[in-house]
Structure 1
Amino acid sequence: MENLLTSHQVAKLLNVWPHTLRRWEKEGKLKPLRTPGGHRRYNESQVMALIGEQEVAACENNS
């Protein structure tokens, strides 16, 4: 089973506010799972892929 991360863990990894994650959810950039209590959980692989995209974009902007 894949590791699931909380909104706060993901926000810290991506260096963004949790509100940004909710906006990205609305935009379709991230798709969280929901716990029975309604809390968001993110697949670690999806988050790592997004980190990779951000690193590529940062490199392209610095070129």
Structure 2
Amino acid sequence: MSKTKEILRHKWVHGRSHREVAQSLGVSAGMVGTTLARAKTAGLIEWSQIVDVDEAALEE
């Protein structure tokens, strides 16, 4: 699973904070925030919207 998808899963499925997600995945809290902002801009706001999305398509 890509980092992007993992970040979104930790936030949307597990309800973790930016800091918890960052520590769990070894990324910065800024990357977590940026990933969530990009998802929101793309109209993605919940896990069910991306669970079956191809990794490459999600990275675009």
TM-score normalized by structure 2?
0.39
Normalising to structure 1: TM-score of the pair? 0.38
Higher strand proportion (structure 1 or 2): 1
